Structure 1
Amino acid sequence: MPIRYDITHTTVYRYREPVGFGEHRVMFRPRDSHDLRVLATDLDVSPEAQVRMIQDPHSNSVALVQPRGAADTLKIVCSFTIEHAPRDHLQLPLSPSAEHFPFAYSVEDRFDLEQYLRPHHDDPKGLLTAWARQFIRTDGPTGTRDVLMQMNQHIRSTLAYLSRDEEGTQTPLQTLALQSGSCRDFALLMMEAARRLGVATRFVSGYLYDPSLDDEGAASGDTVTGAGATHAWLQAYLPGAGWVPFDPTNNLYGDHQLIRVGVARDPSHAAPISGSWFGPAGAYLGMTAEVRVRRRAGFG
């Protein structure tokens, strides 16, 4: 049964004095599909701004926001109501040729998946490849889905989650060396590791539903890591099942709590918001962001 959520994403930039603003690229709107429908949407910007809606090369919905005047605060508030029909991806059958690792994509699929198959980060000493290969069984056939589930669980169990406000993403080798990272770092680590095993992956940014915000969730103690801000995970393309989500931050491998906004071959192409400002050096005071995802009573 579909579940309805109300989502509010608020981002505030503050400055010591009024500054001018360049165009801001905002990727907040959930990504419509057969399992997710956007029922209502609202975008409020202060100071007043011109807004243009476009689709990027991955068909993500992007708002181009151009504030009209100078101000000491830039506030962008996006509100949505969505209907989400989550799927149990563990029950989706794979094509017989892809049930066991290694497998090969068809020629047609490889043409379409090429940018998601090619690693984007260097591994000169083969450390990431060796890390990825530990999940392949040596005592018998290895299930393709099992490799990804074990990798997903291993990241959650062995690496420390650290929230980080700075822009950018650690390289996979940095995350392995530090044994810690943010949700974006964990997603990129698993993406690049899977690509080195021949599995097509892509980065996903979006929102995470936290059941603890609901009365029944608070009573059960059912909480997740990364709620209250934008979240990141990955999808792996498995023939027969399509794009299957994996969230190594929480060891989730379905989309019951994951709400897609944007997909990209690399995290740098799916930033929730980016833009520029013009003013005296040192005027920037900082940014705050808050995401609220609430399940509507009586739905789902």
Structure 2
Amino acid sequence: MHVRARSVGLLCLLLAACAEPPAPAPVPVEPVHPKARPADLVPPPPSAASVALSGYYAGVQKSLLAQGLLRTDGGGPDTPWDDRILADNFLRIAFRDEYRRGAEGFTAGETPTTMRRWQKPVRVGLIFGPSVPAADRALERARIGSYLARLQTLTGHSIALADHEVNFNIFIVNEDERRAMGPVIAQAAPNLSPAEVAAVQNLPKETYCLVYATTDRTGAYSSAFALIREEHPTLLSLACLHEEISQGLGLQNDSPQARPSIFNDDEEFALLTDMDQQMLGMLYDPRLSPGMTEEQARPIVQVLAAERIGGGA
């Protein structure tokens, strides 16, 4: 889903409410541009809360798979779509926010918004908590780098991992580390209020992952950060990475009408679908621009969808 007011957005996956575990003792999180971590450094033991979350998310993934959800096939004969469906879903996802920001924080309520995307190159930095072993860090860098290369091909926009001049940070941390990283969150998203920073620190377990993005006055993104839980099993982690990075590029909403798509809270698809790939390409087409309204973009979007699909799925 997507939450935004003024220049800040929040996108995340949610299910339902739960009681919060007690806050653990502070655990240091590496800075936004960390130095290489020695390969032989043993990660600290996780807290009971983190261990419990690992079991919880393993159960969530198992349950979703048993229901035929978290699909990785990109869509098939059971999910037909054409250029009209593509255009309609693009307008729903790129020109609406699922949440609105008010005095009490973010509340549910889909609202129209202007189109947002990056104009400058996207430079992605990975920030790991001490809980992530060196071997897992190397694996994450490889798979995230591969996904970013795919997104660059789909959008035609420069997107890559970087160690310098980073404007899109991805934090991979466990429960203990996230609860201790208030100053790091405030640094990565200075437009968040103290209460909103605290909300990120105190996420309920049903919030799988999130991404905040900041825009400039033109509607172009200037910075973003995503948060991925270290406790996730492999497929759930990949699902978070696929959705949060893509939403952080400008496909900002979720809709129950979007199918086949990861931009839908029903968890049917874990990874980017064929239709999602087309929407990413449309988002960065030069005939569209940040700040456009849905009304301004609609006739262009219909042309783009017809060009890509030719009237058939």
Greater per-residue strand proportion: 1
| TM-score over 0.5 (shorter chain) | no
- Pairwise TM-score range, normalised by the shorter structure: under 0.3
* Structure 1 length-normalised TM: 0.25
* Structure 2 length-normalised TM: 0.24
Larger radius of gyration: 1
Greater per-residue helix proportion: 2
